[in-house]
Amino acid sequence: MRIITLIENIKDDSNNLINEKGLCLYIEKDNKHILFDTGRTGNFIYNAKKLGINLENIDAVVLSHGHGDHGGGLIPFFKINSKAKVYMKIEASREFYFHYKLFNKNVSVSSKLFEEYSYRIQYMKNFTEVMKDIYIITDIHKHYEIPEGNKYLFVKKETKLIRDEFHHELIMVIKERDGICIFTGCSHNGTANMIKTAKDNFKDSNIKAVIGGFHLVKIPIIKSLTASRSQIDTLVNEIIASNVEKVYTGHCTGEKAYKKLKEVLGDKIQYIKTGTEIII
């Protein structure tokens, strides 16, 4: 399996790609071509062209949750790709907000997506194999506490904003001959919870890799504030107890939290920047 980060918050100075706060992963698996999230804008399309990736060949898109920095690129994508279905939870079509003190920002995917492109969307309600060896897990079990940064995130219900419980988030799992790979968008339900949930669904499978954002930044606009030591320890302990072979992370994990994870996990963990290519 080949994975290329088409969009992430940062990039190497050595490439001429565009970075933005968001996440988009391109995946090749057994002649299938998949996008996991699409970043905030259509910038991932520019990066794909620079890297020689033909997005017209994408067979499916999986949207991890309903925030605009993960689904904002869907409308530009639909203009160049006429065949790929988008797999997501129906709750991801709701209106979401980031609220901190007097600052209030709509962080939803554009409503135009659901008004004009509903025929391209398949809403997931249950654990499903959407393509051969590509699985969607819709129900995430809460064994551990959820990220602290979630307290600043809300969903609109009628005329009120209520605390988001992240029912719109899902997990993608790709099964290979010798194990599974777990994909997380932002891990608002907690990365340790998502690893354990995937384990529960694939009881006899080795975990080859966990790939995605871990939401260990408390407040996105204040990068220096990171998750507590106990939350980071919980994640590390689950990674070790589950015998996860490799961890690839970036985006909402935050550079400060990544350094703490790196101190313990060493070569087991790698930061994925815009343009990073990994082979699993």
- What pLDDT sits at residue 65? 98
Phi-psi region of 230 (alpha: psi -120 to 50; beta: other; left: phi over 0): alpha
Cα distance from N-terminal residue to C-terminal residue, the chain? 5
Which tens digits make up the pLDDT trace of 130-142? 999 999 999 999 9
pTM: 0.96
> For position 136, what pLDDT does the model report?
98
Residue 100 has pLDDT above 90, yes or no: no
- Tokens 């994990």, residue? 253
Dihedral class, residue 240 (left if φ above 0, else alpha if ψ from -120 to 50, else beta)? alpha
Residues 141, 88, 11, 219, CA torsion sign:
negative
- What is the pLDDT at residue 246? 98
Share of the chain above pLDDT 70, in %: 96
Q: Please say if the pLDDT value at position 225 is more than 60.
A: no
Q: What CATH number should be reported for the domain holding residue 230?
A: 3.60.15.10
Domain membership of residue 247 as a residue range: 2-279
Strands 207-213 and 246-250 turn out to be parallel
pLDDT band at residue 33 using 50, 70 and 90 as cut-offs: very high
Q: List 179's β-bridge partners, or say none.
A: 176
Report phi then psi at 254, rounded to 5: 85, 140
Give the rounded percent of residues in the chain with a pLDDT score beyond 90: 89
**Mean of the pLDDT values across residues 197-224?**
86
3-class DSSP state of 120: helix
pLDDT in tens, 49-82: 999 999 999 999 999 999 999 999 999 999 999 9
For residues 148 and 173, the answer to whether their CB atoms sit within 8 Å is: no
pLDDT confidence bin for 223, thresholds 50/70/90: low
Number of domains, the chain? 1
The 10s digit of each residue's pLDDT in 36-49 is 999 999 999 999 99
pLDDT of residue 226: 67
- Decide if pLDDT at 222 tops 80: no
What pLDDT was estimated at residue 103? 86
| Per-residue confidence (pLDDT) for residue 219, from 0 to 100 | 66
Distance, in Å, from the CA atom of 25 to the CA atom of 95, rounded to the nearest integer, reads 24
**61 DSSP assignment:** E
Q: Please give the structure tokens belonging to residue 201.
A: 């669904």
Q: Which of 17, 32, 16 is nearest to 5 (CA)?
A: 17
